[in-house]
A = this chain, B = another copy of it.
Amino acid sequence: MKNALRFSDAEWRVLKLLWQRAPQTSQELCEQLEPETNWKPSTVKTLLSRLVAKGAVQTEAHGRAYLFTAVVSEAESQRAEAQSFLERVFSGGVSPLMAHFVESHDLTDEQIREIEALLKKTKRKDRK
């Protein structure tokens, strides 16, 4: 099993872009991040370095610059972070957590139906 890397808020933002499309240059990333975050290029570079140092992102030389690619999977990262969150905030209780999200977010009927379907499928699977 993987060592479950943890990422900071800022690192998540960068990773999300790399999961959407990769490889990308730091410049491309800067362009996408600047509007929402106002981060200077130095900031983005620092974050990328840290991600590379952590082994979450890989580089590939492309002339003068690097091309960055995420090597950790989004699903796995979400899993780890969700687990930690669940533990910390809801003491591991999935039901309270689900209740919380069902109640505090206005789900559309569409979404509710999706979730109901998921639940049904899960119930069947666990049966045998």
Contacts and interface: CB of A to CB of B under 8 A. Distances in A.
Contact of A115 (B77, B79, B81, B119): B119
Interface in A33-87: 77-79, 81-82, 85-86
How many copies of this chain? 2
A109 B89 CA distance: 23
SS class, residues of chain A in contact with chain B: helix
A95 interface: yes
Given A9-B88, A81-B85, A118-B103, A123 B95 contact: no
A12 B100 CA distance: 18
Contacts of A88: 9, 12, 81
A112 interface: yes
Nearest to A98: B115
B90 A115 contact: no
Contacts of A122: 102-103, 107, 112
